[in-house]
Amino acid sequence: MAKRKPQNDPQEHVRKEPFSRQLSCQLTREEVEERARESAQLFERRDQFDADLKSAQKSGKARLTEMEAELKRLATEVRDRAVLRLTQCERRLDYDAGTVSEVRGDTGEIIQTRKMTDEEKQRELDLGDGDVDKEFG
């Protein structure tokens, strides 16, 4: 004859299934100390990263400003189809006309013409070798 379970057994109609779930657990003293050390180190690394980031942003912003200036310069040169270059020129003093003309050395183009100043109207005297005492000695 089979043994019968007592009818009052509450486990008879209960099924158990294992599973995992995130639940709050108290930290040990050692765990708290370890997390405090990690936190302090992370604050230090974060502060250094923030300083490095600000420095990189400042440097990057300066470089971006340089690039924008270069782009504007190039766009102006393309638009105008010209560029400023140091060019050899010649100043021509025309004593008969009383004018001074500035002439480009590469094209011969007259850049500017103006009246002579009083100082420019004074011609240099040809004194030979420059020794006046020897001439009139």
Report the amino acid identity of residue 125: L
For the chain, give the longest Cα–Cα distance: 163
Q: Write the pLDDT tens digit of every residue in 21-67.
A: 998 999 999 999 999 999 999 999 999 999 999 999 999 999 999 99
Name the band, by pLDDT with cuts 50, 70 and 90, for residue 13.
confident
Q: Are strands 99-104 and 110-115 parallel, antiparallel or unpaired?
A: antiparallel
User: Do residues 86 and 75 lie in contact, with contact meaning Cβ atoms separated by under 8 Å?
Assistant: no
| Domain ranges across the chain | 28-80, 86-122
What does pTM read for this prediction?
0.45
Name the band, by pLDDT with cuts 50, 70 and 90, for residue 1.
low
Q: Are strands 99-104 and 89-94 parallel, antiparallel or unpaired?
A: antiparallel
**Cα gap 72→79, rounded to integer Å:** 10
